[in-house]
Amino acid sequence: MKALFSEESRLSAQLLVEAALARAHAEVGNIPAEAAEVISAKCRPEIVRLERVKAIEAEMKHDVMAMVTAIAEQCGDAGRYVHLGATSNDIVDTAAALGFKSALDIIERDLDGLIITMSALAFKHRRTVMMGRTHGQFAIPTTLGFKLAGYISELLRHRQRIMEIRPRVCVGKMSGAIGTGAGFGDRFFRIQDLVMKDLGLGQEEAATQLVCRDRYAELVFELGLISTSCERYATEVRNLQRSEIGEIAEAFDAKKQVGSSTMAQKKNPMLSENVSGLARVVRSYLAPQMECMVLWHERDLSNSSAERFILPHVAVLTDDILAKMNEVFANLTVNKQNMRRNIESANGFIMAEAVLLALANKGLGRQEAHELVRNVSMAAEAEGKGLKEALKANSTVKKLLSAKELEAVMEPDNYLGKAPEMVDRTIARAEAELGRKII
């Protein structure tokens, strides 16, 4: 991903655009076919070298014109046809679209890798019972696999969004100074069509001097969404790795890895913390990219300097975040013993809903059942008793539920709903969308 946004890659992409423009001019008869062949042959980074472009730019103070001059130097008489009818952003924005296309390919592969990793883990732990929590408090039982299934579904939505934004983001222009196509004459539409088809890009329907920046903002927003989802997963790992919970943890090499320079016992969720920090940086770039949508008239240059920071950073950081998240889940430590310990520490109170519904199924009104279980729960907690013990002593409960029935109702493994089946369905959907067998 870093290579995509290097100066070398930027020049290579811009050379591809200049070559495509020359071929389009030749196709419509504006320039000799031989000239287009020369320009196409010379528009390669090993011929039009970055060092030469930068040397010319140091004198001209204009990056695109420096490149055009460097190309023309290599093309002899054909050099007079380089950049014919175009403006700088025809080249810059179209080359950027080529970069976005490749960047989205990488992000999609990253997403696929993380989906595959999580799917394998979810299937393995589809029935691994653990505590569900709401408001930071014990709620009802769930499974680790079901928790991961929610993450997989979210990642599949991101994958869909990547596909949806491609035609809106991977868009170039070849329409001249303020987008009217005047510099290309009567053959403008044909030239722009030919260039974008040559490069495999969409085209801006009614450009100003540049491609509309709502497209760029959408790209940054989606990468911000992906990064924020990963921060959500990382935050869960960090929370569940807390000493008093200890249900899952990042892998730790006890032979060599160090958690603290002074607290020698420490095993910290460093990758997940890193992901959380980097995701915040990615999100921070959305505001300036949205500001770049607001330009004076047909264009100004206030977007350019900002975008040279924004676009490479959000792409590289999102790629890095996805890679790190994959590493976390590929090597995740799962402590089933602690999961059971935490469930048992709830002293039966997490089964209050199950009891309520069981009583309702026996004919007690739902609201009456709720009030009964609530009163018993509050009294039991105040007296330091477990919920099962308190329910066994309640005359209404004893009348409606036998001791055996109460035992079954209060078994956490019996109150998972369709969580395992939803894991299976989510993985099946992932396999269908990725077009490959995962499990």
Exposed, middle or buried by CB within 10 Å (0-12, 13-18, 19+), for 273?
middle
Class of CATH domain 89-341: mainly alpha
Domain spans, the chain: 3-84, 89-341, 349-409
Choose which CATH entry (3.40.50.2020, 1.10.275.10, 3.30.67.10, 3.90.190.20) describes domain 3-84. Answer: 1.10.275.10
Burial class (CB in 10 A: 0-12, 13-18, 19+), 92: buried
Q: How far apart, in whole angstroms, are the C-alpha atoms of residue 175 and residue 185?
A: 10
Tens of pLDDT, residues 255-306 = 677 776 667 666 788 999 999 999 999 999 999 999 999 999 998 889 999 9
DSSP E strand stretches across 101-200: 129-134, 137-143, 171-172
Gap between the Cα atoms of 181 and 173, Å rounded? 10
Strands 137-143 and 129-134: antiparallel
Identify any residues that bridge with 138 across adjacent strands, giving them in sequence order.
133
Q: What angle do CA 403, 404, 405 make, to 5 degrees?
A: 90
Q: Is 297 a catalytic residue?
A: no
Marked catalytic residue, from 9, 12, 102, 260: 260
- Which H or E element spans position 249? strand 248-249
Strand locations in 330-417 (E)? 333-334
Distance CA 137, CA 185 (A): 69
Helix (H) and strand (E) counts for the chain?
A: 18, 6
pLDDT tens digits for range 326-362: 999 999 999 999 999 999 999 999 999 999 999 999 9
Residue stretches of the chain with pLDDT short of 70:
253-255, 260-262, 264-266
d(CA 395, CA 88): 84
The pLDDT, as a whole number, for residue 272 is 95
Label residue 132 exposed, middle or buried (CB < 10 Å: 0-12, 13-18, 19+): middle
Which residue is catalytic, options 135, 261, 297, 395? 135
Is there a catalytic annotation at residue 345? no
Tell me how far apart the alpha carbons of residues 148 and 170 are, in angstroms, rounded to a whole number. Answer: 32
User: How far, in Å, are 21, 23, 279, 334, 344 from residue 131 at the CA level?
Assistant: 61, 64, 27, 13, 10
* Distance in angstroms (rounded) separating the CA atoms of residues 249 and 198: 49
pLDDT at residue number 256:
76
pLDDT of residue 252: 74
Indicate the CATH number of 349-409 among 3.40.50.2300, 1.10.40.30, 2.40.240.10, 3.30.1130.10.
1.10.40.30
Phi, psi of 131 (to 5 degrees): -75, 130
